[in-house]
Structure 1
Amino acid sequence: MKAKTNVLVTCGRFYPSIALVRALHDAGARVDVADSYKLAPALHSSAVDQFHVVAPAAGDPLQFVEDVAQIIKDRDIDLVVPAIEEGFYLRNYEDLIPAPIFAPSFATIEQLHDKARFHALCAELGLRTPKTITVTSQDELRDAIGQFDLYLARPAFSRGGQTCLTNHGPRAGEMSVDDCVPTTENPWLVQEFVEGDDACSFSVVRDGEVVVHCTYEPSVAATGGYAIQFHSIDDFGTLEVARAIAKRFDYTGFLGLDIRRTPDGAFVMIECNPRVTAGSFLTPGEWVGGAVIDEPSELRIAPAGQKRQYDAYMLVGNAAKLPARKLLHELLTTPDAVLKAGDVLPALYCLINRRHWSHKAEEEHTSLSEAFTADISWDGSPMPTMPEGRGA
């Protein structure tokens, strides 16, 4: 028997993959990491034994799968641990991946990643959701938004709030109906805007059981809607929801939930992310790493009161558009999620990445989040079929 578990983490550009790489290393694994972008932060962590540049998962999924399969063979990999949506491609082509994948089945991913199907699942589980209309054309979208005083609309296959049509809040007016393209393959959800505070959860799940759980809130959000500062809080019911979903699908992998807490003390389910989330930075690394490579003996719940932020998003372009005095205060008082003594290069590469993807977004006339995720995300479109004889 090998002394160490050899693990391959994919998508080293995704900031939570840095927490994941460190957690697995601290749990005793030998860690490799891969990405299509050679300056991805996690590739340069001191916790990494070797890094690999692979084809982009969304841009060339067949080559991506072949690249990962070759790494597994060359490096004697025991376990593949995806960080974000590149894992959806690995699960779709799992027959070609010669190692276990720490992620739910593709059928489970399809249901949870699709916000329309997740809305239906919540109804089955008795969980409250916003009033919702699913549309597949611009005409249906116009009709649906007319049925709500305050609304929020977005694609069924989207992430991080990067595409949002709304008439309320700081993002009102960012998009018009003419900018939206609902289709049968990628419908949009039009939902009643629910007032309240955002909250999230992050779980590590094995064989249908939640073994590590963290509940947290965003403290500061970027103008694109994604959180760049976050803190752990006491659980208010997210654990039971995560358990219900885990049991329903006999789930194994990471599970994230986005929730809106209403003024009346209730909570409303918003979406599910079958992947790693920022909660990994608020959870002890030895818990996360141990839960992935070993069989945990008991449930572990991250303590409230931990606070972290992405300094790269504060420093390069001030993504949250904070006043100078507030920005300085946060930089001086809140620990960077990425910076760690003895492993400082990922923090430097986060600054490089932030600038790189910002420039790419400007060149392509798109948002930062869209530029960042373009070659790793999945929009629900059918994936190509592997030609006979290829990928064997």
Structure 2
Amino acid sequence: MSAAKKRLLFTSARMPFAVDEIHKLGDEMGHYVVATDTFRESPGLHSAGVNQGYLTAPPTQEPDNFVRDVIGAVQAQDIDWVLPCFEEVFYLAKNRELIEKSAPDTTLFWPSLDALTEVNDKTTFADLCERLDLPVAETVVCTTSEEFVAATQKWEHWFARASFGRGGLDIITNYGPLAGETAVEDITPTDDDPWLVQEFLVGQDRCSWSICHEGEVVLHSCYHHPLAIDDRGGIVFESVDSPESLAAVQKIAKELNWTGQISMDYLATEDGTHYMVECNPRPTAGCTIATAEELDTALFNPDGLVVVPGGRKKMIKAAVLRDALLHPTRAKSDFAAAKGAKGVYDQRKDHMPLIYSALSLRHVLAYRKAAGKEASKELLVAAQFFDILYDGSPLN
């Protein structure tokens, strides 16, 4: 447990893992928490763990104004630590020197921009894994439509992803529950927006989340999704024992001298091999199955490695109910998958984030207007982070 209470600033407070960390560090551990986001209904702004909320410019659309807003909040609130919770970390990392100059005594808990970009791009991430002798499915990188079509003919069953896609979006496959949702001819890779095509491997999706200091992993959790939303992002999270995932993160963290939170996706096959899928250089749902004490110690007073044991369970309750209502035939299996799980947005004596998770659906309308999209299966997922996303474009 940290000896002194700290003044913390969280960005992208809408995300479920941000809500979780805010509750644990603010409400349970008693740190002073400032939360920021781009819209007032962001669930994390309304947690009992928040002492002060700020609205910022959207980092994706207005990166300079976003960084300026964050610096203003850091200075006004005398912040000790800044903890980014989504891909706004790229815009912060790009402006690290400016932030350090403006707040020299503040800990900026993220790695270098070079490290971030190497793992965020699925192409360079695959290269990194091969260099470190970590298993990766055979991959074809495509930068033209012709290359993409040819790659999909290499295997009987294949799976393809945009190099900078996130949240289960920008994927296409000819096998499994998502097969046929998108036509091959609709995918148009470019040099700036390549796609990866891989052989479809059968196994269980697994994810991990870790906290690292200067290349050393001090807290690690691995989990799977007993239930996912629209066959994409998980909405029930259960920790599992996975020494393979820990070993992989330790290799990558050491190679990149990683400081910050880091998350991985894997495909665990029947023989126990954990094929590397992608890296999210930020927190993910794995933090929800760590305790407040584990999180607090790992951040502020690390003392060796702590691994979250298997069998812990959390859920996004509203999403579970939504899935059961939209698909009544799945209701029984949905509730079975969620049995024993505690809520992420509805913590003990901290229920306002759950209410605002419903009110924040207004953000879907903002996404539809900004993107010029009609309602679609991907709308709810995409709307969650359209204005805090980094798409690999050059950072000016």
Q: Which of the five TM-score ranges fits, normalised by the shorter chain?
A: over 0.9
User: Is the partner of 2:20 in helix, strand or coil?
Assistant: helix
Say whether residues 1:316 and 2:322 are aligned partners.
yes
Question: Aligned partners of 1:298 and 1:209: how far apart in 2?
Answer: 9
Partner of 2:384: 372
Q: 1:287 to 1:38 in 2, by over 3 A?
A: same
Partner of 1:343: 350
Question: Aligned partners of 1:306 and 1:263: how far apart in 2?
Answer: 23
Aligned equivalent of 2:95, options 93, 106, 110:
93
Say whether residues 1:256 and 2:272 are aligned partners.
no
User: Is the partner of 2:177 in helix, strand or coil?
Assistant: coil
Q: Deviations over 1:94-120 (max 9, x none)?
A: 122133321111110100011010100
Partner of 2:199: 192
**How many residues align structurally?**
381
**TM-score in terms of structure 2 length:** 0.91
Q: Deviations over 1:313-362 (max 9, x none)?
A: 12235498462333455566432222111111111112223x33455566
How far off is 1:87 after superposition?
1.2
Aligned equivalent of 1:146, options 122, 135, 153:
153
Structure 2 counterpart of 1:308, one-letter code:
K
Aligned equivalent of 1:303, options 309, 318, 321:
309
User: Is the partner of 2:384 in helix, strand or coil?
Assistant: helix
Q: Is the 2:167–2:382 Cα contact (8 Å) retained in structure 1? A: no
Structure 2 counterpart of 1:85, one-letter code:
E
Partner of 1:383: 395
Question: Aligned partners of 2:239 and 2:247: how far apart in 1?
Answer: 17
Say whether residues 1:12 and 2:5 are aligned partners.
no
Q: 1:224 to 1:86 in 2, by over 3 A?
A: farther
Partner of 1:78: 80
Aligned equivalent of 1:170, options 150, 169, 177:
177
User: Is the partner of 1:316 in helix, strand or coil?
Assistant: helix
Gaps of 5+ in 1: 385-392
Say whether residues 1:45 and 2:47 are aligned partners.
yes
User: Is the partner of 1:268 in helix, strand or coil?
Assistant: strand
Q: Is the 1:212–1:287 Cα contact (8 Å) retained in structure 2? A: yes
Q: 1:302 to 1:236 in 2, by over 3 A?
A: same
Question: Aligned partners of 1:140 and 1:362: how far apart in 2?
Answer: 31
Partner of 1:56: 58
Q: 1:7 to 1:305 in 2, by over 3 A?
A: same
Q: 1:217 to 1:82 in 2, by over 3 A?
A: same
Question: Aligned partners of 1:318 and 1:377: how far apart in 2?
Answer: 29
Q: Is the 1:153–1:166 Cα contact (8 Å) retained in structure 2? A: yes
Q: Deviations over 1:215-272 (max 9, x none)?
A: 1111111115111111001123111111111111111111111111112222211111
Instruction: Give every structure 1 segment of 4 or more consecutive aligned residues whose post-TM-superposition deviation is greater than 4 Å.
Output: 317-320, 328-333, 357-363
Partner of 2:236: 229
Q: Deviations over 1:124-167 (max 9, x none)?
A: 11111111000111111111111121111111111122111100
Q: Is the 1:9–1:31 Cα contact (8 Å) retained in structure 2? A: yes
**TM-score in terms of structure 1 length:** 0.92
User: What is the RMSD of the two structures over their aligned residues, measured on CA atoms?
Assistant: 1.9
Q: Deviations over 1:185-207 (max 9, x none)?
A: 12111111111011111111111
State the percentage of identical aligned residues. Answer: 34
Q: Is the 1:8–1:33 Cα contact (8 Å) retained in structure 2? A: yes
Gaps of 5+ in 2: none
How far off is 1:373 after superposition?
1.5
Question: Aligned partners of 2:322 and 2:55: how far apart in 1?
Answer: 25
Q: Is the 1:255–1:275 Cα contact (8 Å) retained in structure 2? A: yes
Q: Is the 1:27–1:289 Cα contact (8 Å) retained in structure 2? A: yes
Structure 1 counterpart of 2:393, one-letter code:
S
Partner of 1:388: none
Q: Deviations over 1:78-106 (max 9, x none)?
A: 21100011111111111221333211111
User: Is the partner of 1:377 in helix, strand or coil?
Assistant: coil
Question: Aligned partners of 2:325 and 2:234: how far apart in 1?
Answer: 10
Question: Aligned partners of 1:316 and 1:39: how far apart in 2?
Answer: 19
